[in-house]
Structure 1
Amino acid sequence: MSTHQVTFLLLDLALILLLSRAFGALAAKLGQPPVIGEVIAGILAGPTLLGSDLSTTLFPTEIRPSLAALANIGVAMFMFMVGLELNRRVLRRQGAIAVTVSVSSIVLPLGLGIALATFLWSRHPTDHRLGFLLFVGAAMSVTAFPVLARILTDRGLTQTTLGGLALACAAIDDVLAWTLLAAVIAIGGAGGSDSLLLLLVVPYLAVMLGVVRPLLRRMLAPAAKLTPGRLTAVFIGVLLSGAATEWMGLHFLFGAFLFGVLIPRDGTERLRGEILGTVERFNGTLLLPVFFVVAGFRVDLSGIGAAGLVELALIMLVAVSGKFGGAYVAARLHRLPPRQSGMLATLMNTRGLTELIILTVGLQLGLLDQDLYSMMVVMAVVTTAMAGPLLRLFGHTGVADRHEPEPDRVATAGKSVTGAPDPV
């Protein structure tokens, strides 16, 4: 890189951090997850507000590959954290209701998304029609586990029956959604990769489960401390696993996610917490804000037009009705009270950064054009921003309301989940 490029790269990184922090803080003051403000900051740095010329002046074309590389590392580490936070014990405790809600909140939006994609394909044709249909359906089915967990923490719901159930549903949803996306990428041609390489997925999984997992158990034993050597080994594992799945045509995010899942759970709560905190501080402060801006470069709503607004309305209708409706109906079938069912469905409708990552993959693989990508990003932001107001609509006023009358209990459904109902 030339001196001019290095100078602009450093200046742009400083600008990205400033925008991310400012908009994230503003979103938090408005009762929204900071990620909403960071995503909006990325969109505003793109051509939608600034126009192509000014956006290119601030973020020159020659340094964007460097920003994209940093963004990819940020996404890889984020997916590792998602896998690391996956709690298999919570999944086992929640039983049938979590599985039913998760499957229902995947199947209904998937079906509605495929139906919508059939309509959209004539205006946004791609080289692979089946891949396009399945990808849009999969994108409608996503729940953002990290954003949901943050909302539960901010609103004091983490230790409640409803909070535990929501986390379990979102975790199962994550596993199903990423598995579905992997299948879609394989069907869609994996961006031109040799399809024969996909056959290596089976030996790759065998090595990860039969070799890497035992090594991790030995290296990250319950009594182990997080030394620089162990942390470096974890980073190397994340990068190598991501590189393997990228080479096979499944995208690096799957390898990073699986490596996080394989980190041992029994007796390693403190160690995992230290790993998570170390990665989260650096990744969330520097690398993920870069990803938001890189993603924002591709969002352009300036020429959406009347037809685009109709498409955006249809996308919103399908996204909300599919995800919310699927979760709500399944919860009611398990006799969860209407109020708690509505809160659970609201939480499952959050998409956040997870959706943005999936949409970026679709854009990279040519399954989405820029216009459709832009509209789907708007959907991701709006459905996540809806969570706070909808939770208040269902009667939850947040952490500050410590002395409100005790809410309805998760009566029969709570007993089937944990053995005894807890207050919501």
Structure 2
Amino acid sequence: MDSLVILAAFAFGFAARQIGQPPLVGYLIAGFTLGHLGVESNTTIEVIANTGIALMLFIIGLKLDIRSLLKPEIYRSTVEHGVVFGGLTALMIMFVGALGLPLVSDITWTQAALIAFALSFSSTVCAVAMLEERGEFRVRHGQLAVGILIVQDIIAVLFLTVSTGKIPTLFALLLPLLFFARPLFSYLLKASGHDEVLILSGIILTFLGSSLFELVGMKADLGALVFGMLLSGDKKSGELAKSMISFKDIFLIGFFLNIGLSASPSLEMLGIALLLCLLLPLKGLGFLLILSRYKMRVRTALLAGLALTQYSEFGLIVAALALQLGWLSEDWLATLAIAVSISFVLSTLINGRSHTIYSRFKNSLKRIEQDLATDDAPQCPARNVDVLIVGMGRVGSGAYDTIASQYNLKVCGVDTDKKKIASHTSCGRKVIYGDAEDADFWEGLSATQYKLVMFTMPSLSEMVDAVHQLRTAGYTGKVAAVAKYDDERNAMINAGADVVFNYYAQAGAGFAEHTLSNVMDILPEKPASLGG
């Protein structure tokens, strides 16, 4: 049976990839299909799913700046949206109940409030998976969405604790002392090297945090998040996060399969679930309007709102607890599972076109943008520059230094990480803030007259969209990009890049040229290509 589940996950995930959709859509459909065929979830799948969630929260913690959670646009907007959307959802459920529809005809205000509360959460798993796939985890709207998700998760944990009457033990008061264990954890990562031992250290720390928090009567997932946050800012945290991502993605397949397997839909349940999904545009609109009040660019508010426009797996946990306590029926749990699954599919489809949506409607959307909306405002494209390098990581920084020192060209870098920009500036590099997928960033490009624009971002989809934005803005100069595989290279060429550097295929040539340029004395004759 486990072999059948794996085969179904591969088949549907593969099919989703072929039609341009994220594999998680295929995994959800695989779960529904298997559930319809009578396959039930089992302990193995649930353990895999829970492990995937714990690993994901640990990785989020590694990348999280805890100070961001204390900003009003994070904690206050979360509460405001929950109250407004929850209230409107409860009213809608009671209205539908008054119409005498099946499943809701005899619903009480208490039950409607519980269901609305469960639907007010957005999915950490779904949103983070989409942000990571598009390389938007660290940009402003990505960090904003993740901050809101974490505050929502904290609220859910508090609700679960209060509802069950399970109070953490007195030993929970000692958890703040974990802060003093940071040097030990940091040494562990440093001594683990760069191979599978580093990944194992991350997994051990994830399970250690989960087990420790569970031992003192707190939610295990919260422990994984806290242990990740303890290592946030460590020199090895970025490398650890990158090395664990694929491992985490494999385990999260179990989560998406489990969502589909947990629902046994009837036509009545499917109908009510579809009605609940009609509230999703209201959920996204609510985030857009509320976030826009915090001096937020409407683009940032829109993209963060779209990333949060789905229902949450935490909502199912809340509903499951309500079922155990006799507050909701089993039919409602299945209905909510269907609604969550449908919302995942819709969310991935919409977010795959989020930048296109903004570009198409930006003039109308800017009417709701406040005059003081300066947060995340991109800097104007640099003037008097020959080469623009978008993405100032290790590759972008190396390209910047080489071009500036050896080719006598004026260079400017672009990045979305303001801390990284400050570091580059201190090193003497000219780097401006901007998101290459932002249509507003490329406005006025015709006056810049760049000779070359180079893209070195880690995400293929991000670079493809950025090249499209660049060409749409009227740029006719040369475009270069990086790729890891031949199919990525072809995708960038088709998107409009003139030159694409394949990391793996051309690394040997780069290595040889760099080496020989520094040991010219061993050459019988100085090659012309190295003589400059």
Q: State the match for 2:148 in structure 1.
A: 173
Q: Does 1:140 align with 2:110?
A: no
Tell me, in whole angstroms, the C-alpha distance in 2 between the residues paired with 1:247 and 1:117: 39
Shift of 1:137: 4.2
Tell me, in whole angstroms, the C-alpha distance in 2 between the residues paired with 1:71 and 1:392: 24
Tell me, in whole angstroms, the C-alpha distance in 2 between the residues paired with 1:370 and 1:283: 31
1:72 to 50, 55, 59: 50
SS in 1 for 2:255: helix
SS in 2 for 1:396: helix
**Which deviates more, 171-180 or 382-391?**
382-391
Amino acid at match of 2:172: V
Q: State the match for 1:3 in structure 2.
A: none
Q: State the match for 2:188 in structure 1.
A: 219
Q: State the match for 2:204 in structure 1.
A: 236
Amino acid at match of 2:221: L
Shift of 1:324: 1.3
1:183 to 148, 152, 158: 158
CA contact (8 A) 1:138 1:181 kept: no
Q: Does 1:109 align with 2:103?
A: no
Q: State the match for 2:3 in structure 1.
A: 14
Shift of 1:263: 1.6
Shift of 1:173: 1.0
Higher relative contact order (CA 8 A, sep 6+): 1
Tell me, in whole angstroms, the C-alpha distance in 1 between the residues paired with 2:89 and 2:173: 30
Shift of 1:184: 0.9
Give identity over the alignment, percent: 20
Q: State the match for 2:27 in structure 1.
A: 38
Amino acid at match of 2:260: G
Shift of 1:101: 4.6
Instruction: Return closer, same or farther for 1:370/1:277 CA change in 2, 3 Å cut-off.
Output: farther
CA contact (8 A) 1:140 1:319 kept: no
Instruction: Return closer, same or farther for 1:140/1:224 CA change in 2, 3 Å cut-off.
Output: same
Shift of 1:13: 3.2
Structure 2 unaligned residues grouped into runs of 5+: 98-102, 381-433, 440-532
CA contact (8 A) 1:324 1:348 kept: yes
Tell me, in whole angstroms, the C-alpha distance in 2 between the residues paired with 1:419 and 1:315: 37
Tell me, in whole angstroms, the C-alpha distance in 2 between the residues paired with 1:165 and 1:103: 20
1:348 to 289, 300, 308: 308
Q: How does 1:226-305 map to 2 (within 5 A)?
A: 226=194, 230-266=198-234, 268=235, 271-285=236-250, 287-301=251-265, 303-305=266-268
Q: Does 1:84 align with 2:62?
A: yes
CA contact (8 A) 1:135 1:184 kept: no
SS in 1 for 2:211: helix
Amino acid at match of 1:19: A
SS in 1 for 2:212: helix
CA contact (8 A) 1:336 1:412 kept: no
CA contact (8 A) 1:102 1:169 kept: no
Shift of 1:300: 0.6
Shift of 1:276: 2.7
Tell me, in whole angstroms, the C-alpha distance in 2 between the residues paired with 1:199 and 1:111: 36
Q: Does 1:416 align with 2:384?
A: no
CA contact (8 A) 1:80 1:258 kept: yes
Q: Does 1:311 align with 2:272?
A: yes
Tell me, in whole angstroms, the C-alpha distance in 2 between the residues paired with 1:124 and 1:145: 29
CA contact (8 A) 1:17 1:289 kept: no
Q: State the match for 1:381 in structure 2.
A: 341
Q: State the match for 1:359 in structure 2.
A: 316
Shift of 1:40: 1.9
SS in 1 for 2:223: helix
Amino acid at match of 1:45: L
Amino acid at match of 1:207: L
SS in 2 for 1:417: coil
CA-to-aligned-CA distance 1:194-216 (integer Å, 9 cap, x gap): x344554332x32333x333432
SS in 2 for 1:379: helix
Q: State the match for 1:371 in structure 2.
A: 331
Shift of 1:364: 6.0
Shift of 1:186: 1.0
Larger of the two Rg values belongs to structure: 2
Shift of 1:90: 6.8
Amino acid at match of 1:78: M
Tell me, in whole angstroms, the C-alpha distance in 2 between the residues paired with 1:74 and 1:177: 19
SS in 2 for 1:179: helix
Q: State the match for 1:333 in structure 2.
A: 293
Q: Does 1:202 align with 2:159?
A: no
Tell me, in whole angstroms, the C-alpha distance in 2 between the residues paired with 1:122 and 1:244: 44
Tell me, in whole angstroms, the C-alpha distance in 2 between the residues paired with 1:250 and 1:309: 35
Instruction: Return closer, same or farther for 1:141/1:202 CA change in 2, 3 Å cut-off.
Output: farther
Instruction: Return closer, same or farther for 1:44/1:331 CA change in 2, 3 Å cut-off.
Output: same
Shift of 1:172: 1.6
Instruction: Provide the aligned C-alpha RMSD in A.
Output: 4.1
CA contact (8 A) 2:8 2:30 kept: yes
Tell me, in whole angstroms, the C-alpha distance in 1 between the residues paired with 2:361 and 2:276: 37
Tell me, in whole angstroms, the C-alpha distance in 2 between the residues paired with 1:405 and 1:39: 30
Amino acid at match of 2:57: M
Instruction: Return closer, same or farther for 1:258/1:397 CA change in 2, 3 Å cut-off.
Output: same
Tell me, in whole angstroms, the C-alpha distance in 1 between the residues paired with 2:347 and 2:85: 18
Structure 1 unaligned residues grouped into runs of 5+: 1-11, 399-403
SS in 2 for 1:202: helix
Tell me, in whole angstroms, the C-alpha distance in 2 between the residues paired with 1:335 and 1:197: 39
SS in 1 for 2:356: coil
Amino acid at match of 1:189: T
